[in-house]
Structure 1
Amino acid sequence: MDLSIKLDGGRFNFRTAVILLDNERVLLHKNEYDEHWALPGGRVALFEETEATAVREMKEELDVDVEVERLLWFTENFFDFEGEAFHEIAAYYKVNLLSDLYKGNNIFHGKEGDRILLYQWFPIEQLRQVELYPYFLREGLKEIPTHTQFISIKD
C-alpha cells in the first residue's frame, strides 16, 4: 500500500525521488498530460525503506537497475496540485545506473501502471528555464550538497 492518504482538507504523501546524472545532465520525467517536470521516483509503500523505493521505482518505470549512492535532501513540501492541497515528505537519493538506459537528447517513454511517463535528460545549467518542481531543484542540482540537507518548501 502506497503512503498517499486522503484526509479532510488534503492529501499526505510519502515519496522517494531519484537523482540520476549523466555528463552534467539530470533525468526528469512527467506524465504525458502534465506541463511540469519532476525527478523520477514514487510513493513509498507501507513498511518499505525509502532506498528500496528508489530502486523499485526505477525498475518498474524504466526497467533499469540502480544502486543508491546517498541521501541528498529530505524535504517537507506544501503545495496544491489539481485543486488539492498536499503535505508531502520526500527523500531525494543520488543513484548510480547499473544497466543500460537511453542517454540521447530526445524524449523517451516509461510506464507506471496504465500511465505513460515521458523522460528526458536536461542540462543542469538550463534547469532555470524548465518548469521543474519542487522549485528548489532548479538551483539545488547545480551544486550537489556534500551532506544531507533538510528543506521545508511552501510553493
Structure 2
Amino acid sequence: MISFDIAQYRFDLRAVAVAVRGDYVLLHRVETDTFWSLPGGRVEVGEEAAHAVVREMHEELGVATTVDGLLFAVENFFEGDGKPHHEIGFYFAVSLPDDSPVVDVKREHIGMESTHRLVFRWFRRQDLPELDLYPAFLRKALQEDHSGIRHFVQYG
C-alpha cells in the first residue's frame, strides 16, 4: 500500500467509494470508532485508484462494485494516532449490484478489514451535516449533485 512516513508526516494515497441509492449514501466506521467515513482504502503500488476501490469493497463487504467515474480529488491534512497526516484521495462514484444485500438501506451491514470489524450503514444525505463524518467537507458535498470533478483541500 502507498503509505509511508516522511519528515514528521504520514503520507497515504487513498481510493474512496461513494455509493448513493436514492437519497442515501453508504458510510462505514470501525466498530470501536465514534466517527463515520466513506468506504475505501489505500492504493497498492502499481494499482490504479479505481481498481483499489473495487478491491476494497470486495475485501471488506464481499460485493462486486462498478466504478462510474471520479467525483472528487482531495488533499486531506489531519492528525491521527498522534501524527500529522497528508492524504491524497480519489473519490469515485460507484454502483452496487441490485441483488446484493448491501443495497438494503434500512439495516446495518458488517464487514471486516484485517482484524477490525466494520459497520456499514446508509444515511440520508440531508442528515449528514449533523453526523460525525470525516473529512468534514463531505457533510455538505455529498448533499449536492455533481457534474465534473471537484477538488477539495481539507484541514482538520
CA deviations on 1:1-29 (whole Å, 9 max, x unpaired) are x0111233120000001000112000000
SS of the residue corresponding to residue 20 of structure 1 reads: strand
Find the counterpart in structure 2 of residue 65 from structure 1.
Answer: 64
For 1:107, the aligned partner's letter is: E
Q: Would the aligned equivalents of 2:24 and 2:105 in 1 still touch at CA under 8 Å?
A: no
Q: How many pairs does the alignment contain?
A: 154
Find the counterpart in structure 2 of residue 106 from structure 1.
Answer: 107
Q: CA deviation at 1:95?
A: 0.5
Q: Would the aligned equivalents of 1:42 and 1:53 in 2 still touch at CA under 8 Å?
A: yes
Q: Would the aligned equivalents of 1:10 and 1:86 in 2 still touch at CA under 8 Å?
A: yes
2:98 is the alignment partner of 1:83: no
Could you tell which deviates more after superposition, 3-12 or 63-72?
3-12
Find the counterpart in structure 2 of residue 121 from structure 1.
Answer: 122
Q: Distance in 2 between matches of 1:80 and 1:74?
A: 20
Find the counterpart in structure 2 of residue 138 from structure 1.
Answer: 139
Q: CA deviation at 1:35?
A: 1.1
For 2:147, the aligned partner's letter is: T
Find the counterpart in structure 1 of residue 6 from structure 2.
Answer: 7
Runs of 4+ in 1 over 4 A off after TM superposition: none
SS of the residue corresponding to residue 117 of structure 2 reads: strand
Q: Would the aligned equivalents of 1:72 and 1:144 in 2 still touch at CA under 8 Å?
A: no
Q: Would the aligned equivalents of 1:10 and 1:84 in 2 still touch at CA under 8 Å?
A: yes
TM-score by length of 1: 0.95
CA deviations on 1:35-89 (whole Å, 9 max, x unpaired) are 1100000000001000100110000000000111010000111110131110000
Q: Distance in 2 between matches of 1:11 and 1:88?
A: 8
CA-atom RMSD in angstroms:
1.1
Q: Distance in 1 between matches of 2:81 and 2:123?
A: 25
Find the counterpart in structure 1 of residue 18 from structure 2.
Answer: 19
Find the counterpart in structure 2 of residue 48 from structure 1.
Answer: 47
Q: Distance in 1 between matches of 2:116 and 2:100?
A: 23
What are the ranges of 5 or more consecutive residues in structure 1 without an aligned counterpart? none
What are the ranges of 5 or more consecutive residues in structure 2 without an aligned counterpart? none
Q: Distance in 2 between matches of 1:104 and 1:44?
A: 28
Find the counterpart in structure 2 of residue 149 from structure 1.
Answer: 150
